[in-house]
Structure 1
Amino acid sequence: MAFLRFSVDSALLRELGEKLVETVHLALVELVKNCYDADATEVEIIFTTNDNGATIIKVIDNGTGMSHTSVKDYWMRIATSNKEDRKVSTVFGRPLTGAKGIGRFCCRRLGNRLTLITKGTANGKTVGKQSKIEYTEVEFPWMEFEPGTDVTDIKCKGDQTFKNGEITGTTLIISGISEEWSHRGLNWLKRQLAVLAANRGVKREGFKEDPGFNVKLIAPDFEGGIRDLRDDLMNAGWGTLTAYINKKHQAVCELNALGIGRKTITSSQKFSALRDISLEIAIMVDQRDQMRDTGVLSQGTLQKILPEWGGVQVRYRNFRVYPYGDNDWLEIDRDRGLRKGNPNSELFAFAQSLRGVDPSRSLLNLLSMRSYVGNVNIGEEADGFEMKLNREGFLSSVAVDQLKDFVRFTIDWSTILRDYYIRQESQRHFLIAKGEFENIIDQKIDADKVVTEAVSFLEHNVRSIIDHLPEKEAKEIEISFTKATEAIRKHNESNQAELSHLRLVASTSTLLLIFSHEVKSLLGLLEQSKNSLTLIAKNMSSPKHQRKVNEISASFSELKDRLEELLQLTSLVGSDHRKSKPSQIALKEKIARVEKVFELVTNKYEITIDYSGVPANIVIKKILEAELYSILLNVLSNSIKSVIAAGRNRIIQINAVKDGIYNIITIKDTGLGLKESSFEEVFIPFIADPEGKLYQNLDSRLNPEDNLIVGTGSGLGLGIVKEIVNAHDGTVEFVKPQKDWNAELVIKLP
C-alpha cells in the first residue's frame, strides 16, 4: 500500500503575505506588536540605506528574544505559533496584542530579504543582560521561494553561537523594500503605535513590574528624521503642562496648548515642604478639534489609551509609586462630580483677568482624571516622602499634602486657560457666523447688534412664509415665533449689560492696587512724621523745629490732596456701572489728572511726562470714564517703572493724532525697552517682566521706602488695557521705537 504526502508550494508565502497583511504599514505595526508581546521596553524602527544606497528597515527591540530552538520549531514552522497556548507575555504579564503566527509574513510583505538576529535564553522568560545567551542569526531570501518550488526545499543560512554578558532582544533587518510608503500611511502607523507607547508602566500580580514601552521612529525622509512616539503622544493632545518647584518653593508652570500658545505663571503660593519636584502632563480631550497632532492621535486611539493608561502617576527617585495614577488621588473626578467651579484665591484673580471667563465657574471644564496623562517626578533631594510598609503609597506628611496641592494648582491653572480657549473659540466661530450673515444681508453690522439684526431678519422671512399658510396655522406660528424672538432679545440685552459690568470689575482690581500702594506710602510717611514730631516736642521754641513742623504739615496737605484724587478715581468703578452709559471724553484732561496721581514718584525721581503733543480737541468716543482711566493708569505706571529702572534721562512722551474715525495715541519712553520677541508676551496676564530685568534694575535704583509705591507689578495691567481697547474695536501694540526712544506703545481707539 502506497502513502502520499502533502507538499507546500512556495507561492503560499506570497499568497498568505498578500492576504493576511494588506499594507506595509500594517505589516510594520504587527512586527512592533510582536516586540511588545516579547516584553520589550523599547523598540527602534529605523529607515536607512545599505552600502549600495538601497533602503532597508531595521526593527530592534530589547525583549526576551528567542532561543535557537524557538526559531527553528516555531518561527520557521508555518501555521504554528508559540502564542496560542497563552494569553499574556511571560515576564510582565502583558495582554498579547500581535496576530498569532503572522510575523514572518509581515517581514515578507515589507521586503524581499530578511536577516533575523535574536538573543535569548533557553526558557525565553528573561529580559535584560544575561550571563549566558544564545545568539541566532538567520537569512531569509524570500525571492528564492518561487512558485513551483517546495517550501521545505529552500535552505536559509543560519548560525548559532553562545555569548556572555549580552542583552536579550531581536533585530529584524529587511531589504528590498516595497515602494508603498506614504505620508498618510505613516500617520496611521504612528496612531497605531501610540496606543502601545502609552504604556508608562504598571504592576500585574504574579509578574515582574512592567516599566512601560516606547517606540522610536528614525526615518530621515519623514518629519524631521527621529520621532519619539512617547514625546509625540504627550504633545498631540490639547496641551502639554510642565511645572517645577523653584528655590523659593513656588510653582513655576508652563502650558503649551492649542489656540493659546505658550503660557507661563509663577505662583504666589509657596509650597514650603517641597523641593526637587517636577511634572509633565499631557491634557487629552476626546474631540478632534482639540488635538494638536491628528497624525499621532485620533478619537479612536484616544479611546483605547485613556481608560488603561490615563492618570497622573508619581515617580519617586525614578521608581513608580502605586497606586497614584490608577486612582483619583488628586480628587479630580470628585470635584467634577461636585460641580466645583471656584479655584483658590490666587487662581480666582487670574481667572478674573481673562476675557469672557467667569471666575466662579472657571473649573467646570475640568476633565476626567484619566484625561491627564503624565508623571510627577520626586527627585533625590526631596524630603518628607516615606513609603508605606506595603510599598503602596506614602505615609501622610506635609510634603505629601503639598505635592497634591502643587499638582492641582497646575491642573486648575491649565483648566482656567482651557476655559478661556473655549470662550475665544466660541468668539471666533461667532465672527465667522457674523461674516456669513453679513454676506447674506449685504451689509456690515456691529458685533453687539448681531442678535437683534438676525432676529429682525428671521422675523421678516418668517412673515413671508406665514403669508402662504392657512390662517389658523399662521396665527399659531406667529405667536410662538414672537415669544421666542422676544426671549432671545431680552437674554441678549442682559448679557450685554453683564459684559460691560464684568469689564469694569476687571478694571477695578488695578485701581485698587494703586490705591493700596498709596495708602501704604501714607502710613510710612506718618511713621516718619511721628518720629520728627517727637524730636520737635523737646524744644518747640526752636525756629528750626517750627520750620520742620510746617514742612510736615505741608506734606500732610499734599498727600491728602493726592489721596482724595485717588478716592475719586476709585469711586468711578467701585459702584455698579451696569446703568452707566459710555460718553465722549477729552483725552488731555484725563492725562493731566492721571499725571497728578503719580506726582509723588515723578517729582522724587525727576521724571518728565510730556503730553504737550496731545491736542485739546482729541475726544475718545463711546467709552466709560473708568475704562479710559484704567488704560492711562496702567500704561503710565509701566513707563514710570521702566524709566526708573533704566537709570538715565527719564522722559515719557504722549502724543495723539486723529486718523479718520480713530484716534492714534502713542506713548514713548526712555526706559529699558523690550525685545521684539516680547511685544506680544507682555499682554499675557501675570507676565509682569518677561525678560527678567525690570524689577532687578528697580531694586538697585529705588529708595527702600519707595518699594511700597512702585513695587512688583501684578502682571495684569497691560492685559486689562488690551481687553478694554479690543472691546471698543481698537488695537494696542508695541512697535519698534523711533530714534532716541526705547519703547513705543500705540493705542488706536475710536
Structure 2
Amino acid sequence: MAEPIKANFKARSHILSLLGDELIGSDNLALFELVKNSYDADATRAEIRFENLGNENMAIIIEDDGVGMNEDILINSWLEIGTDFKRGDNRKLSKKFDRESLGEKGVGRLAVHKLASDILLETKKQNEDFGYKLEFNWSDVISNAKYIEDTEVSFEKVKKLTFLGEPHGTRITLRNLKRKNWERGDIRTIFRTVNTLVSPFKSDDSFKVDLILDEEFQEWIEDIFKPEKILDTSIYQYDFYLAENGTYSWGYNFTPPFRDNSLKKNSNDNFKEDKKDKVLFNAESKDKNKKYFNSKDLERIGPIKGKFYLFNQRSQILNIFKNSETIKTYLRENHGIRIYRDKLRVYNYGEPGNDWLGLNLLRTNNPSGTISNNNVIGSIRLNMGSSHEYLKEKTNREGFDENETYQKLKDICLSIVKHFSVVIQEDREKLENRIKDFKPVNKAGFSESITDLKRKIEKRKLTKEFSHVISRIEDDYKQMRDVMLNSGLSGMNLSLIFHELHREVKSISNDINRAAIDEIRERITYLYNLIDGFSPILKQNQTSVFTTKKLLKTLKDHNAGRLGFHNIILSCPPLVDDAEDFRIKGPENLLFGAINNIIDNSIFWSSARYEKENSIPPAILLTTDIETFRGPAIVIADNGDGFKLNTNDLTKPFKTLKPGGMGLGLYYASLVMELLGGEIVFINNEDIKVPDVYDGAVIALVFNPEKES
C-alpha cells in the first residue's frame, strides 16, 4: 500500500483583507470592535477622536487608559490572528474589574483594516518602564508577502508614553482612511453608537466612551439628546430580574405628565417583597404543561436583568415636555431593545429597523396586547460568565448565532415584554381617556348604549325624526354581531381542536411504534368523539330549545380528552341530578362555543396555579343556579388564580393576562349572552353556593327569565 501523501493548509496574505475590510460590515462595527479591546484591557475611559475632519490629513484615534501591552503580548497575542488568548482555558476575569473578555475570536484587531491603510499602534503596559510603537501600511504588508506567515512588521521601544493622562494604555492612530468623505450623518450615527455602547446599569465598574470632534464640527452632535435626558420623558418604566433559579422580580412606575387628579402616579416595586413565589409565564411555550420558566431554562443563559422605558408620542404628551420634534427624532433613531453582556453592548440588537423580538408585528395583530418597538428604549443585561459558552456572537459581530440557546433567550425576553404589556394595561387606558378628555363608562355594551340613546331621543321628543335611523343602526349591528359571533367563536374553537388533534395524532404514531393496539383503539375513539363533539360549533345560528343538562354533557364529553391530558378534575352536578336543570331557547352552537372558551381559560389558569404552587390539583366546576340571580344561570368555577383585571374590563376586547391570549373569549361570551337577552356576571365564590375549593374565577351566564323557553 502506497505511503499517504501529507499536506498542510496555507493561507494567502490576502486573507487579512477578507478578515478585516470585508468581514466587518460597517465603520460603526469596526470602531465598536476596537472599543471592545479597550474594555477587555480594564480601561475606565476610551476616546474616539476625529482630527482634521473634512480634509486629506484626517485621522481617527482610538485611545484608552487600560493596562496596555508588553512585548510578549504584542507579538504572541495582538499579532496572532485567531489567538486563544481570551478564550478556552486562557479565558479569565480581568484583574482590576473582574471583567469577562468580550473579544474572544481573536480577529477584532483587524477592524483597523476596515477603516484605514496606515496604522500607528502605541502601547505601554502598566508598571513597566518601556512602551512600544508599531507603524505599518496594510497594503504594503499584504503585497510584500505571498502567504500570511510571511507578513512582517517591525516595532520599537519607547520610553515616555502617556494615554489620557495615565502612564499606561493603548492608542491606535488611523490615517489614509478608506472613506474619504465623512458627512454629518456618518458622525451622528457613530455618536449614537458611542452613546449606546455602554450599558445604562449602574455599577462600580465604570467604563466611559467619548467621541471628540474638531471644534468647528462640534455642532454636528450638540443637538443629539443624551440618554439620561430623553429617558426622563418616558411614561412607563419597568425593571425586571430573572434569577438563575427561575424566580422573577419586577418593579413598575407610571409617571404621567399631567398635573391633575385624573391620573395618579403608580409605583409597584416588587423587588422589595419576598421573591420565592414569583415566576415568569412562558408566553412562547409550545408545551401546554409548562407555563413558567425555571432553572433549567436559565442553565446556558444565566440571570437576566433589564429595564424598559416606554414613551407615548401623542402630541398632547410631547408638547408638555417641549422640544417634541427633538424627542421624536431621538426615538426614531434610538428606539428598540438592546442587549448588553456585563456592561458592553451586543451589536446590533436594538438598532433602528432591528425589531428582533417582532414587537411591531405583534402589535399589529393585537394593538392593546403588547408594546410598539418604535416607542420603547430597553436594555437587557446578560452575565458573560454564564452565557459566553452557548450564546456565541457571530464572526461578523452582528448578533448571536441563532442556535437553540438564542431561541430560548428570545422566548424569555418576549415573555418579559408581554408581562410588561399586561402590567401597564390599566394605566395606558387611563392615559388614553385623559388625552381624549372623557370618563370611561363601566358598562360599554352596545345594547345598553342604544337603549340609552332611544331614551334620550324620546325625552327630547325627537322620536319621529330619528327613530327609523336608530332602528336601522340597531338592525345592522345585530346582523354584524351574528356573523362575527359565528365566525369568531368557530375560529377560536377551531384552534383548540387543531391543537388536540395534532397532539393525539402524534400519540397514536408513538403507540403504533410500540404496537400498543389497545391504546391506539382508545385514542382513535377519542378522536372520533372529539370531532363529533365539535360539530355543534360549525352549525349555523339556528334557534332551538335545549336543556342545560344536554349542553353540559356535550361540553363535558367534548373536553374529556383535554381534561384528562392536563389532569384536571371536572365536576358537573346537573349530570348526577345534584343541581337544577332548565331550558334555554337560542343558538346552541354559539353558547357551546362561548362556554368552551371559558373552560379553556379555566384549564389554563388552574393548571398554571398548580404548576406554580404544587398544592391542590386543578379543578373545574360546571353547574347551574336558579336562585342567586335575576334568572337561571350556568356557573363555571375553577381553582386558578382568579380575576386580576378589573371586572369592568374582563369583557372588553384584547384585555387579557393570559400569555399569548387575544383577550376575545369573554368578549364573545358577553355578546352571546346579549344575543340571548341575558348577561355575563363575575362573582366571588363566597357570594354563591359553590364549594370552597373553587376559589379562583367564578363566572355566571345569567339568562332572561322572561324570554320564552
TM class by smaller structure? 0.3 to 0.5
How high is the TM-score relative to the length of structure 2? 0.43
Structure index of larger Rg: 1
